[in-house]
Amino acid sequence: TRLQILEKLGECHVSLGNQDQARQYFQEALSLLEQTGASEDTLAYHETRSNLYLYTGQLCMEHEALQAYQHGIQSLEACLNIAMDEETEKTLRPKLSGAYCTVAELYLTDLCYEDNAETECESYLEKALQIKDVDGEPLVDA
């Protein structure tokens, strides 16, 4: 589909070091995803949406990156609410935990001068620590 092609083009441009072009493809794919009227209560919709936003977040800085990561996290959380099998949850939990850690890291770097940087960093790390694997162990080493 066109959506998949745009996502792959974005990935290719990231590999080639063309970050601006890659971001443009990811944003075009997000726009197409929203326009197509894809069912927002499906796992496929939220997985695709989270991937695109997380890719975009990697290519942005400061508040733009934060906003993209927050949208990606929102979709990953929706995926976990929709997921019906343990295998799917096994793949989603580490992604969500990693996304929380990435936002915490953002508050240690790009957003370190924000008034609430320390509090937000701790909050996102706590969220990452709360996500457990199937054995009940945190996915993040503290």
Q: Show the low-confidence residues of the chain (pLDDT under 70).
A: 37-38, 134-135, 138, 140-142
- Residue matched to tokens 């590999």: 15
Q: Quick check: 132 and 138 in contact, CB under 8 A?
A: yes
- Distance CA(116)–CA(133), nearest Å, equals 30
84 CB-near residues (< 8 Å, 6+ apart): none
Instruction: Please report the pLDDT score of residue 93 as a whole number.
Output: 92
Instruction: Please report the pLDDT score of residue 141 as a whole number.
Output: 61
Q: Quick check: 40 and 47 in contact, CB under 8 A?
A: no
Instruction: Please report the pLDDT score of residue 38 as a whole number.
Output: 67
Instruction: Please report the pLDDT score of residue 41 as a whole number.
Output: 76
Q: What is the pLDDT of residues 71-89, one digit of tens each?
A: 999 999 999 999 888 888 8
Instruction: Please report the pLDDT score of residue 35 as a whole number.
Output: 87
